[in-house]
Chains A and B, each alone.
Chain A
Amino acid sequence: MNRRDFLKASGGLVIGFTLAPRLALGQDRLPGSLNANRMLDAWLRIEPNGTVTIFTGKIELGQGIGTALSQIAADELDVNLQRIDIVHGDTARTPNEGQTAGSLSVEQSGTALRFACAEGRDMLVSAAAAKLGVPATDLRVSDGTVSAPGGATVTYWDLARDTDFKREATAKVKPKPPAEHKWVGKSIARRDIPKKFTGGAAYVQDVRLPNMVFGRVVRPPSPGAQLLSVDEAAARRLPGVVAVVRDGNFLAVAAEREEQAIRAREALTRSARWKEAASLPPTGEALYQRLMSSPAPGETVVEKTSPVAEARVKTLEALYTRPYQSHGSIGPSCAVAHWQNGKLTVWTHSQGVFPLRADLAKVFGLNPQDIRCIHAEGAGCYGHNGADDVALDAALVARATGGRPVKLQWMRDDEFMWAPYGSAMAIKLSGGVDGQGNVVSWSHEVWSHPHSTRPGSSAGVNLLAARHLAQAFQPVLPADVPQPAGGAARNAIPLYDFPNVKVVKHYIAEAPLRTSALRTLGGYANVFALESFIDELALVAGADPVELRLRHLKDARARAVIEAAAQRAGWQPGLLGDGTRGRGFAFAKYKNLACHCAIVADVEVDRKTGRVSVTRVVAAVDAGQIVNPDGVINQIEGGIIQSASWTLMESVRFDRTRVTTRSWSDYPILRFTDVPEVEVLLLNQPAERFLGVGEGAQGPTAAAIANGIANATGKRLRALPFTAERVKQALA
């Protein structure tokens, strides 16, 4: 994007929409995000130039949400898809839909747009009826042109001036039935892709403002380190340096050129003296022992009892563990900040521009209205990475550049050392099987740190630099994400119908390493444990793993995906691996309330080296009504392969003082030659509500791999990741 376009798209133009009135007592509940953003004109606008603009608080992060939402709007409005423009996440222009997270975007924003557009169409058609003097029921709409039986026509664009969307939505107009959809349900090519492959301005990294300078941060070498001294003067003398910012333990630099900023960062890193302390936990098994000995009390998530008739119950107990894992975005976090007359504008790839604005306002002591956060894409983030943190970094540096905008990008080591991690977790499972091979008791006990420490909580500031400032703002210890979605205990409650079930969580709010949302939150580890353990019980029961699951499952949609995956993969009950090759099965309903996903994974174990390859994966998915089938398949494929990478390779390294994962050589991920073939089967449910899929496959994939290794070798692996070293040890 050139400068003029950017200014046009952001700075200069002030566009207002009516703010939603506060939800008053007794007000009707509206569907999806319409409930909190009740004005129609907050969602759509008919432009006189023959286009429609839709507004969403949800942001594009490579999941294709912009395309899916456009499909929904085009169908409800009866306009061609090409006419739809979409504005994502801009605190000055779009509804506030909180975070783009939890695979909820189509459900929340899509539902709101569906009802808003259906109502908008109804209003336009009524206006047309008045204008043409024909009853509304006799009118037909095609691509925005309303026609009467006699041939008279009028277009939305003619009607736009007299149709006032500045009113509260009622959600009384029924959206179209699936049979009438023209766009929803089709694999429409994503609108964000062409520019990404032609060097278009697609990312926040591509934002260029006049007179802009480049920023870099110099982070402490370890959590809690105190800056004792640094030679700021020497850094200021380096070529191109515009500003060196030191505020408590926050240290950063801005320079005319990007490579000059990097040089200055290196110089500051060399001259800085820090006081460090050993604040990190031990690694290896001791990490989990430490976690499980924390004083956090056990909190019962669910408990169900019924008498077990038989005395001859065989019981089993097992401990599963998951290490700290990194989001590992390919592009380190980046933001552009610009101060003008005491007001701040930030271009950011944050997943929540409104919550980010709230935290920035606290740090700078401003009214939120004096800050504008505009979303621009970053590299895939997979949850809460450094996106929000870097926005504060850029804003802090931009205060020192005399009004010049600052583009600040983290370096690779900043991202690996300081972006929040997915929490380490320990999960103890125990269960019993009766003489008929039925599972009669089940207990799941999980220990975990937080899975959501995003900005925007009512107290405290959840932005990294805030805690490093001389006038520090501390984050408030977050509460766990409540059930039913859950954070630490996400997917800990088995969907299976066992007569005795107990689920207990130990939520340890204080974490030695900063943790937050990584795709699925606790779901990945809980499903890994649960779905591994059911296979362990199947072995005790002498049952086939798929059969045992079905035996305990009533949910028809769950059964259908399990059967579909088993059938497509050619699952053979009771078939054992041959010592090196094996096959594993697993299933989950994400959050126990979203998409259903069953996975069959074929694995190959090199017994000499311990190296595990996942050669093929078959997935069956029910995500309710599917808006864009290829988009869904793309996300499921990505989820499977990313989870294979987490499961086989990934864990953050640290010693007692410092994180030692700095670059990709310290944090290997799956590469082309290791990637399995993936086949995804979609079970469309046009009559059901939309369910997100971004996080549906990760948990089952991990368990299917573990089950496959057990099937191949007879060895059960319970500690993630299954590195060659670990597997070799287990096989020895």
Chain B
Amino acid sequence: MANFTLRVNGETKTVSVEPDAPLLYVLRNDLELNGPKFGCGLAQCGACTVLVDGKPTRSCVTPVSTAAKARITTIEGLGTVDRLHPLQRAFIDEQACQCGFCGNGMVMSAKALLDRNPRPSDRQIKQTLNGHLCRCASHNRIVRAVQRAAAALRAEGRS
């Protein structure tokens, strides 16, 4: 066990874990963040995605030691029920899920996309999210939600 200081959603937290413990379990179990989900543990589904220094990262295969110096953002860091981020609002407005288990990863990867491309085409959104699996098949709504969020962010002048 070793101590790691993590910067998560703007706060600094210290955890005592093995250096190779996957970041996902530290976020979920030590920091009690529900956003990132365990889906496969194999970097195949995207449910566990968080942003590490702004880059979508599969926390299920990311050792905590490699994320220790970075800025980590989870979906909790985007907004809350009372102060929704435009992406969260757009997913709610489009009712872009059934079970919603994939939603965390979709939102986080979309966030990174919109940060670098405020006006993506449907095709670009689909390509960006192609590594994310949705079994309930909410794909089309998810693409619409990302477009809606992009428009909202542009209108706000946030991107």
Contacts and interface: CB of A to CB of B under 8 A. Distances in A.
A378 B37 CA distance: 11
Residue among A198, A670, A675 with max Cβ neighbours from chain B (10 Å): A198
Interface stretch (A44-52, A131-139, A390-398, A635-643): A635-643
A258 interface: yes
B99 A330 contact: yes
B95 interface: yes
B81 A198 contact: yes
B29 A671 contact: no
B44 interface: yes
Given A205-B38, A638-B138, A257 B21 contact: yes
A298 to B, nearest CB: 36
Given A259-B22, A409-B38, A189 B92 contact: yes
Interface stretch (A122-130, A436-444, A661-669): A661-669
Contact of A664 (B22, B45, B98, B127): B45
Contacts of A257: 17, 21, 25, 29
Interface residues of A, number: 63
Contact count band on B: 35 or more
A19 interface: no
Interface in B24-74: 25, 28-29, 32-35, 37-42, 44-45, 47, 74
A671 B127 CA distance: 9
Interface string A338-382: 000000000000000000000000000000000000000111101
B101 A330 contact: yes
B134 A678 contact: no
A434 interface: no
Interface string A248-277: 000000000111001000000000000000
Nearest to A638: B137
Contacts of A658: none
A199 B84 CA distance: 12
Contacts of A201: 34
Interface in A667-685: 669-673, 675, 677-678
A645 interface: yes
B87 to A, nearest CB: 8
B140 A678 contact: yes
Contacts of B32: 2, 208
B22 A62 contact: no
Contacts of A638: 98, 136-138
B126 A189 contact: no
A671 B79 contact: no
A330 B140 contact: no
A671 B134 CA distance: 8
B102 interface: yes
Contacts of A456: none
Interface string A203-242: 1011010000010000000000000000000000001000
Contacts of A258: 25, 28-29
A539 B81 CA distance: 56
Given A198-B80, A664-B133, A672 B126 contact: yes
A196 interface: yes
B92 A197 contact: yes
A62 B45 contact: no
Contacts of B141: 634, 637
Contacts of A412: 39-42, 44
A55 to B, nearest CB: 22
A196 B130 CA distance: 21
Interface string B81-94: 10010001001110
B135 A198 contact: no
A329 B133 CA distance: 10
Given A197-B103, A259-B22, A638-B98, A202 B39 contact: no
B44 A203 contact: no
A189 B39 CA distance: 26
Given A259-B25, A672-B139, A196 B97 contact: yes
Contact of A199 (B18, B41, B76, B140): B76
Contacts, number: 182
A330 B92 contact: no
B137 A645 contact: yes
Contact of B135 (A206, A409, A669): A669
B6 interface: no
B127 A673 contact: yes
A194 B100 CA distance: 10
Nearest to B1: A239
B95 A634 contact: yes
A199 B33 contact: yes
B75 A380 contact: no
A203 B35 CA distance: 11
A462 to B, nearest CB: 23
A194 B42 contact: no
Contacts of B47: 330-331
Contact of B143 (A331, A630, A672): A672
A178 interface: no
Interface string B114-134: 000000000101110110111
B95 A196 contact: no
Contact of B81 (A200, A332, A382, A677): A200
A472 interface: no
Interface in B128-159: 129-130, 132-143
Residue among B32, B127, B135, B139 with max Cβ neighbours from chain A (10 Å): B135
A330 B45 contact: yes
Interface string A402-426: 0000000101100000000000000
A489 interface: no
Contacts of A189: 92-93, 95
A663 B41 CA distance: 10
A419 B42 CA distance: 19
A328 B25 CA distance: 22
Contacts of B135: 328-330, 379-380, 382, 642, 669
28 contacts: A62-B136, A63-B98, A193-B100, A194-B92, A195-B81, A197-B88, A198-B81, A198-B88, A199-B33, A199-B35, A199-B75, A206-B34, A329-B101, A330-B102, A331-B38, A378-B101, A634-B141, A637-B141, A638-B138, A641-B137, A664-B40, A664-B42, A670-B137, A671-B130, A671-B133, A673-B127, A677-B140, A678-B140
Interface of A: 2, 61-64, 189-190, 192-203, 205-206, 208, 214, 239, 257-259, 262, 328-332, 377-380, 382, 409, 411-412, 630-631, 634-635, 637-642, 645, 663-665, 669-673, 675, 677-678
Q: A-B pairs with the 6 shortest C-beta distances?
A: A62-B99, A641-B137, A380-B99, A196-B100, A62-B98, A199-B35
